[in-house]
Amino acid sequence: MSEVRRAVVLAAGRGKRMMPLTANCPKPLIPVAGTPILERVLRGLRGAGIEEAIIVHGYLKEMIEDYFGDGARVDMRLTYREQDPPNGTGGALLQVQDLCGDEPFVLHWGDILISPDNYPEVLADYAEFHPAVVEGLNWMDDPAAGAAVYRDGNRVTKIIEKPAPGASTTNWNNAGVFVLSPKVWPYVHRLTPSPRGELEFTDVLHMMVADGDYVLGHELHGLWSDVGTPQIVDQLNADPRLQ
C-alpha cells in the first residue's frame, strides 16, 4: 500500500484558451468523452489509493463544489480552497500547506489527463526510492512548449523552461503530475514572482535540483494531454483510450 493518501489538484484557472467552452463553465468541468476533466483526474487518483483531495479553485468555483460536493461522487473526501488572486502554481500550494501537514502528497495540474495506470507506478517510485520529489515526465517530439527535463539515470539534473524549438537534446517534458515530500515547503516559501508575476512551482524544482535534492524523473506512458483548447477536447472525444 502507498504511504501517500492525499492529492492537491490545481483547478483555479480561467481557461481563456478554452473559450467559448469556458464562458459559462469552469475548465475542470469541461466534459471529455462524456466525463469532466477533473472527474477523470480524481477517479484515476482514487483507483491508485488516494483517499482525499484538496481542490484549489477560483473561476466559477461554486459550480465545481456543487458538482463534486463532499467527494462521494468519486469516493474521496474533498476539501476546497480558493486561490484569489490566481498567483501561480506555487501560490496555490501556499493556500494548502496547513491541510497537507508533514505528509507526502500528489500534486496534479487540473488540466492534465494521463492514462490512469500511471498513478500507482508514480506512487510506487516514491515508496521505493523516497526522493524529495517524483516528477512525472511525458515524451514529446520537442519539449519547446513546456519544460525540457534532463536526467542522470532517474535523477533530474536540469530543467529548461520553454527551450528554443529544436534546441533540446531530451524529449522529456514536465508532465504536471508529481509526488511531493514535505521537503518542498521551505522552497515554496522562498519563491519570488516570475517574469509574468506569478509564483511558479517549477522554480521550486530548479532550487531543489540546484541544492542536490533527489528529484526523481518518472516516465509516463500511454495517454498524456494538456487539455488546453477546444480542438484538443475534440481530439480527446475521439480517442479510443477514453471511451
Residue with cell 535540483: 209
Q: Which helix (H) or strand (E) holds 98?
A: helix 97-100
CB 106 within 8 A of CB 10: no
- Determine, yes or no, domain membership for 189: yes
Nearest to 12 by CA among 90, 69, 104, 114: 90
**21 inside domain:** yes
- What pLDDT shows up at residue 2? 61
Q: Which helix (H) or strand (E) segment is 42 a member of? A: helix 37-47
Confirm whether 161 is domain-assigned.
yes
Residue 177 within a domain: yes
pLDDT at site 183: 97
List 136's β-bridge partners, or say none.
Answer: 218
Question: 187 in a domain, yes or no?
Answer: yes
Please tell me what DSSP assigns to residue 33.
T
Residue 44 has a pLDDT of: 98
184/84 Cα distance (integer angstroms):
22
Instruction: For residue range 132-153, list pLDDT tens digits in order.
Output: 999 999 999 999 989 999 999 9
- pLDDT tens readout for residues 80-99: 999 988 899 999 999 999 99
Average model confidence (pLDDT) for the chain? 95
Reply yes or no on whether the pLDDT at 8 is more than 90.
yes
* CATH number for 81: 3.90.550.10
What pLDDT score does 26 carry?
Answer: 95
Tell me if 195 is assigned to some domain.
yes
Q: What total number of domains does the chain contain?
A: 1
Q: State the residue range of the domain holding 25.
A: 6-242
The answer to whether the beta carbons of residues 59 and 68 sit under 8 Å apart is no
Instruction: Tell me if 1 is assigned to some domain.
Output: no
Summarised one tens digit per residue, pLDDT across range 177-229 is: 999 999 999 999 999 999 889 999 999 999 999 999 999 999 999 999 999 99
Which residue has 506512487 as its cell numbers? 123
The whole-number pLDDT of residue 3 equals 87
The answer to whether residue 130 sits within a structural domain is: yes
Identify the CA nearest to 180 among candidates 227, 133, 148. 133
Query: Average pLDDT in the 98-107 region?
Result: 96
pLDDT of 1 reads 44
Checking 98-104 for CB contacts under 8 A at 24+ apart, the result is 99/54, 100/6, 100/8, 100/54, 100/182, 101/182, 102/182, 103/4, 103/5, 103/6, 103/182, 104/3, 104/4, 104/179, 104/180, 104/181, 104/182
pLDDT higher than 60, residue 47: yes
